[in-house]
Amino acid sequence: MDDSNTILEVSHISKTFRSKNIFGRTTSEVSAVNDVSFRLQKQRTFGIVGESGCGKSTLARLVLRLIEADGGRVMYQGHNLLALGGEELRKLRRDIQMVFQDPFSSLNPSMTLLDNVAFPLWVNGTSKQDGRIAAHRYLEAVGIPRSSAERYPQSLSGGQRQRVAIARALVLEPKIVIADEAVSALDKSIQAQALNLFHELQQDFRLSMIFISHDLHVVELMSDTVMVMYLGMVVEVASVEDVYAQPYHPYTQALFKSTPSMDVTHKKLDGFKLSGELPSPLNPPSGCRFRTRCPMAMETCAEHMPELIEVGDGHTVACHLYGEADVARRAI
Ligand SMILES: Nc1ncnc2c1ncn2[C@@H]1O[C@H](COP(=O)(O)OP(=O)(O)OP(=O)(O)O)[C@@H](O)[C@H]1O
Ligand SMILES: [Mg+2]
């Protein structure tokens, strides 16, 4: 992978949520994100997929420092965002904006659409008038007509509200947008429109995007590279073409098998569909965290956590089924 094309590099980031009792003793620990690394390429989309609770949103929040990581680095423009503070952090963080699933959480119901979009600029010192002029531009860019600018969020449909939330994220002219289940709450037809809008905006504003979804279809439509997470860990990373043509990890294969119309044939796992609940992250399985649901599990899977190894060009997988010998054989 070409380093000069990397806009954001996340290395070995982890987060364990700890609950404490009134005496300050730790009573429970949730390993939400464990040693995750990835690179976002300029003007590309990096998709993150995995079941509910696998740590996707926590990872996004860690990158933005909405919560503090236990360790790791987030390199952006030569700085480790996790080590910065004050004005320096505020300035760089402005370049990374987030769009959430529920636009209600990011829109103020007592402000007009125009003022909702202008608000981030006002907070950053732009005058009322200039903020509103810019807000008009961004509302237009997301397809909200001028005549609707004075309406309030409650009067809009879900799809329109999400457009306003996107305008609000873009008004600060970010270089990176993190969309966390940004289209998941929308009806299928509206979802398709929202995905098209993201595509157009990405071109127009030269955005790099992290696109988070539990929906394989959405990730396939949006992403250049896909990272599959399971219980806080990365199990597979590959270009969208490679992962959809040949998923290696039994969990990735199972995700396909469990998604109607995305049934990728794989002889080792014929007939296997993902079943059973995600184990509790309070007490994750030893070794490979997927082993308790994996039909291919071996003794070693309980004893050793598999490392990510390269199985193809830029295609990595963390699974004991694929050893070094396997990789060497493929290289011949
Ligand atoms: N503030 C918190 N305190 C304690 N546990 C948390 C906290 N936030 C998240 N978790 C736990 O961390 C794990 C990962 O949660 P996260 O919200 O990141 O998953 P997700 O992949 O985004 O799921 P979803 O698809 O449902 O949005 C879950 O077990 C969740 O309960
Ligand atoms: Mg989430």
**Domains delineated in the chain:** 3-95+174-331 (3.40.50.300), 105-169 (no CATH)
pLDDT per residue over 173-201, tens digit each? 999 999 999 888 888 888 888 899 999 99
pLDDT of residue 105: 75
Q: Are 139 and 107 in contact (CB under 8 A)?
A: no
Cβ count near 311 (within 10 Å): 19
pLDDT of residue 12: 97
Question: What pLDDT does residue 260 have?
Answer: 66
DSSP string computed for 23-62: TS-EEEEEEEEEEEEEEEETT-EEEEE--TTSSHHHHHHH
List % helix, strand, coil for the chain (3-state, nearest 5). Answer: 40, 25, 35
CA–CA gap between residue 295 and residue 254 (Å, rounded): 10
pLDDT at 267 over 50: no
Contact yes or no for 129/114 (Cβ under 8 A): no
State the closest ligand 1 atom to the C-alpha of 52, by its place in the atom list counted from 1.
25
pLDDT, position 309 = 94
Q: Is 53 in the pocket of ligand 1 (CB under 6 A)?
A: yes
| Residue range 149-171, pLDDT digits in tens | 999 999 998 889 999 999 999 99
Q: Mind listing the pLDDT tens digit for each residue in 76-105?
A: 999 999 999 989 999 999 999 999 887 677
Q: Tell me: pLDDT of 122 over 60.
A: yes
What integer is the mean pLDDT of 298-316?
A: 93
Give 134 Cα–ligand 2 centroid separation in angstroms: 30
Ligand 2 centroid distance, CA of 191 (Å): 18
Instruction: Give the number of whichever ligand sits closest to the CA of residue 214.
Output: 1
Does the pLDDT at position 263 exceed 90?
A: no
**pLDDT for the residue numbered 280:** 81
pLDDT the model gives residue 271: 52
Percent of the chain with pLDDT over 70: 92
**Average pLDDT value for residue range 215-239:** 94
**Residue pLDDT, tens place only, 6-55:** 999 999 999 999 887 778 777 788 999 999 999 999 999 999 999 999 99
Question: Which atom of ligand 1 is least distant from the CA of 58?
Answer: 18
Q: Does the C-beta of 29 come closer than 6 Å to ligand 1?
A: no
**Which atom of ligand 1 sits closest to the CA of residue 59?**
18
pLDDT at res. 94: 93
Average pLDDT, the chain: 89
CA 295 to centroid of ligand 2, rounded, Å: 27
